[in-house]
A and B are shown apart, each in its own frame.
Chain A
Amino acid sequence: MACALALALDRPMTFLDCDVEGANAHLFLGPEMLSREEVFVPYPIIDANRCDSCGKCVEECQFGAMIRLGKKVKLMSNLCHGCGVCRLVCPKAAITMAGRPVGIVHSGNAGLMRFYCGELRTGEALSVPIIRKIKEQRDDLVIIDCPPGTSCPAVESVEGSDFALLVTEPTPFGEHDLRGMITVCRRLEVPCGVVINRSSEDDGIIEALCKAEGVPILMRIPFDRKVAEAYAKGGTLLEAMPGIKDRLLDMFLEIRGLRR
């Protein structure tokens, strides 16, 4: 939906793929990648000569990233959030903070678009610092492809937006997860609207939720094996469903009226 909307608009804008655990937008937009920037998060370096293993850092670390091994203190780097509380509490000033690479932000151009996407290093747990880096971009029009779920990566991606377009499907699964996302948008004070994907005659389960929550349904994409086949081939919605372009442009105008 994010790619189809961007392609339909076909004007200067910035596209941010914030689904860094499964970045896919480049597959549909085919950007020419021009540069890459490494993303670092702070992490502590323990000076073994100064450390007397008092254990204060082990005690204060809320993420269990500092462990005592015999007479030494060791960092479990994949648990570290980089908060620096260990440095602050160390009575021997044995801890300094350095940068640890957790991933990369790639950028380039796709037609009139500036394109950014992130890549999480394999085995790294934290995607939020990469999302934060991607979101440093500013433009008159920014479309953000957000990650699934309702926890930190989704929150970080949606926050500060003028409008959130929530894509769902008319099943109990879709309804359950959409309910969570509407709550997130409320907490972030971001207005939202819904697109029902794989829509059928029976969208009642989503319609009821949207009515109860006062959230508008902006578009329905019918369930069609041909659409699924075109998508499988790597085509966007625009290629799979001729005629959808005008509907996307209409929806964009509607969103402009609904935004914050």
Chain B
Amino acid sequence: MTKIAVMSGKGGTGKTTAVASMAWYSDGLVLADCDVDAANLALTMKGRLRTKDDYKGALKAVIDEKLCVECGKCEANCAFGAISDFRVVDIHCEGCGACRVVCPAGAVRMELRKSGEVLVLDTDRGPMAYAELQPGESNSGKLVTLVRRLADDLSESDGLDTVLIDGPPGTGCPAIASITGVDLILAITEPSRSGEHDLMRLIELAHHFSIPICVAVNKWDLHPGVTREIEESCRRQEVMVVGRIPYDPNVNKAIKAMRPLPSQFPDSPAALELHRIWKEVISRAKDRRGSGLVLKLE
């Protein structure tokens, strides 16, 4: 199995557009949308629903007021400030169960609640695993791990070797869960100070976990000077720059049409460059197969 994660650090640099386009050029793969807070790939890669399951990821404490003796031990031992006036504030409860453990009256029970859905679509390039986390829910790292596992299972069951991951922004919990065990990270950045800054943090994260990473600069011609600086910074970090995607108004049109860029504008400059990047990335990932470090995150 060859696993590639498309990441960025900064949000809105074009990950989903890149993933949908590269998937279009592949002859069959498994897709995994790991941006579970803001799952957008399904909006572009339309397909038929294969499976849909509830994600019960929210363990929450519930205090039975009939049994509660109002001793306040739960509040004193809650590390998350999730109890006030002998009631649980759901949005802060992380489900650790400390309140249940300390309650002398047995008034606290833990409830597993639905916090999202996990889905598989059959797109015309292969199956796609993704999830919709209910807004405001926590545990997105755990849900990412679940989507990843589902994608791995699909790779086995459907006999498709490549898993392409559309990752979340940032460098925290869901980002770490998205890159663990992949053969290669493709970082999509843009020539801005914030794009560069967040890319460097992502490169640091990749190095921290010893995962190979390469970079493509999207909309590079909006500021060729900053693009060159980013490429220079990458070179200093011994990170390969695999492509420069030009600013292309067709990208926005394709997003609005909710289709992958090459399906609408096969000869557009951005599509052609993404095709070249895909060939480069897939051959690099296959060379490095199995070299990624596996980190358990649940």
Cβ of A107 under 8 Å from chain B: no
Min C-beta distance of A102 to chain B, whole Å: 10
Which residues of B sit under 8 angstroms from A177, Cβ to Cβ?
37-38, 40
Min C-beta distance of B286 to chain A, whole Å: 27
- Whether A85 contacts B98 by the Cβ 8 Å rule is yes
- Whether B172 contacts A120 by the Cβ 8 Å rule is yes
A89 to B97, CA, bound (A): 11
| Chain B residue at minimal CB-CB distance from A64 | B298
- Whether A83 contacts B133 by the Cβ 8 Å rule is no
A181 to B11, CA, bound (A): 15
Q: Which residues, 78 to 95 on A, are CB-close (under 8 Å) to B?
A: 78-79, 81-85, 88-89
A152 to B94, CA, bound (A): 10
- Whether A232 contacts B223 by the Cβ 8 Å rule is yes
Q: Which residues, 47 to 61 on A, are CB-close (under 8 Å) to B?
A: 60
Which residues of A sit under 8 angstroms from B252, Cβ to Cβ?
171, 198, 223
Q: Mark A6-46, 1 if CB is under 8 A from B, else 0.
A: 00000000000000111110011000000000000010000
- Whether B40 contacts A173 by the Cβ 8 Å rule is yes
| Chain B residue at minimal CB-CB distance from A182 | B135
- Whether A151 contacts B138 by the Cβ 8 Å rule is yes
Cβ of A215 under 8 Å from chain B: no
CB contact under 8 A between A27 and B171, given known A42-B79, A171-B252: no
CB contact under 8 A between A125 and B172, given known A181-B135, A229-B223, A234-B192: yes
Which residues of A sit under 8 angstroms from B126, Cβ to Cβ?
none
Cβ of A149 under 8 Å from chain B: yes
Mark the stretch among A134-142, A183-191, A250-258 that contacts chain B. Answer: A183-191
A103 to B213, CA, bound (A): 24
Q: Which residues, 220 to 252 on B, are CB-close (under 8 Å) to A?
A: 222-223, 226, 247, 252
- Whether B140 contacts A152 by the Cβ 8 Å rule is yes
- Whether B97 contacts A85 by the Cβ 8 Å rule is yes
Cβ of A157 under 8 Å from chain B: no
- Whether A24 contacts B135 by the Cβ 8 Å rule is no
Q: Which residues, 53 to 74 on B, are CB-close (under 8 Å) to A?
A: 59
Min C-beta distance of A87 to chain B, whole Å: 9
A212 to B79, CA, bound (A): 39
- Whether B222 contacts A228 by the Cβ 8 Å rule is yes
Which residues of B sit under 8 angstroms from A122, Cβ to Cβ?
171, 201, 204-205, 208
- Whether A85 contacts B96 by the Cβ 8 Å rule is yes
- Whether B98 contacts A22 by the Cβ 8 Å rule is no
A148 to B9, CA, bound (A): 11
Min C-beta distance of A35 to chain B, whole Å: 21
Given A155-B136, A234-B226, output 17 extra A-B contacts at Cβ < 8 Å: A60-B97, A62-B94, A63-B298, A78-B297, A81-B79, A88-B98, A122-B205, A122-B208, A123-B176, A148-B12, A148-B38, A150-B133, A154-B37, A171-B252, A176-B38, A232-B191, A232-B222
- Interface pairs (12), CB distance under 8 Å: A24-B193, A60-B97, A76-B296, A79-B297, A122-B201, A125-B173, A150-B37, A152-B138, A177-B40, A228-B219, A232-B191, A232-B222
**Residues of A participating in the B interface, judged by any CB pair closer than 8 Å:** 20-24, 27-28, 42, 60, 62-64, 76, 78-79, 81-85, 88-89, 120, 122-127, 147-155, 159, 171-173, 176-177, 180-181, 183-184, 187-188, 198, 202, 223, 225, 228-229, 231-234
The 4 closest A-B pairs by CB, nearest first: A149-B37, A83-B96, A21-B170, A232-B223
